[in-house]
Structure 1
């Protein structure tokens, strides 16, 4: 059985200068979005020559290479969970076993399958633990 390790929230106040110095630049593809998905990218999926970008306010689909999107997100604390999916750690609500594998469910309820080759990445990153 797998269990997602929840991020601990800290009760510290940040100043604007602290936030600006620690937050990565928004990914380049954010400027191409037609819909407001919210302030933060929760997940990105490949869809042929397009990508689907998910956030707290919804999702959008734009023409953009998935490999470029993953490169744009390199400063964010996220990882690929499949050849076609990248997920931000903060966006993960839970990880559910599904047969011999499992799915990551983000806060919006959207589910992403985890391939066997990326399962070890999640385990090594300690985002989930195996009982």
Structure 2
């Protein structure tokens, strides 16, 4: 599921190729092939950079926590389109000596915003499709686990039907939250801190800024490559931040009635 940067590179390359070969907005007739390539490479790379920074901040910055993740992402795209507009205007001046006016700037901003929102939507659809193809996550004994009685949590309203409520882990991937259960997995647009808040009362622990685990899904704690990892029943190993190692050991010791020495 970790295909964020690879996918972004492919998306960027696709946009550059399309811009270079089709030459939208008159660039086909006004610029040579090489100039079109440079123009669209710089424009797409700059806009992509600002979009990703904006969306990341919208989904992680504590001061934006009172807004929903979807609203934050839309606002981030619209705001990130502003520096992207400045880059395109500089390119227009350098490559085509375009007269820069407020009306032209608004037109460029609107175009970048629409493309940014479209790419973000495609991103989300790809994540959901990948989650759908991932299938069922086996339980620790190799069988599909049946969900025990769990507290009612607002978080489960975010999941598609069939994923179940027997949580294994939550992990941030790019701008999205991967939810793994004993019955499958899903990808949703939500901040980690919002998800943890909605899971109040569910037996779990945030072990890292990017990972949360259900306590009954952790089978061991191991040291690996200078760090500590929580070993899950499905075989995955998730990193544990130094600040959370003692707390994780303590809650697991209370669960098992024995000391955890990992």
- Identify whether the pair has TM-score above 0.5, normalized to the shorter chain: yes
Scaled by the length of structure 2, what TM-score is found?
0.38
Q: Indicate if the aligned counterparts of 1:29 and 1:64 stay in contact, CA closer than 8 A.
A: no
Identify the residue that residue 180 of structure 2 maps to in structure 1.
54
Q: Indicate if the aligned counterparts of 1:93 and 1:107 stay in contact, CA closer than 8 A.
A: yes
1:91 aligns with 2:222: no
Q: What is the SS of the residue equivalent to 1:54?
A: strand
Distance 1:54 1:121, change over 3 A: same
Identify the residue that residue 260 of structure 2 maps to in structure 1.
129
CA distance in 1, matches of 2:221, 2:161: 28
Deviation at 1:35, TM superposition (A): 6.1
Q: Indicate if the aligned counterparts of 2:178 and 2:186 stay in contact, CA closer than 8 A.
A: yes
Q: Indicate if the aligned counterparts of 1:44 and 1:54 stay in contact, CA closer than 8 A.
A: yes
Structure 2 runs not aligned, ≥5 long: 1-147, 254-258
- The partner residue of 1:112 within 229, 234, 238 is 238
Q: What is the SS of the residue equivalent to 1:60?
A: strand
Which structure has more strand as a fraction of its residues? 1
Q: Indicate if the aligned counterparts of 1:91 and 1:107 stay in contact, CA closer than 8 A.
A: yes
Aligned residues: 110
Identify the residue that residue 198 of structure 2 maps to in structure 1.
72
Distance 1:83 1:54, change over 3 A: same
Q: Indicate if the aligned counterparts of 1:81 and 1:113 stay in contact, CA closer than 8 A.
A: yes
Q: Indicate if the aligned counterparts of 2:156 and 2:165 stay in contact, CA closer than 8 A.
A: no
Scaled by the length of structure 1, what TM-score is found?
0.70
* Aligned-residue RMSD, C-alpha: 2.3
User: Which protein shows a greater Rg?
Assistant: 2
Distance 1:35 1:102, change over 3 A: farther
Structure 1 runs not aligned, ≥5 long: 1-18
Which structure has more helix as a fraction of its residues? 2
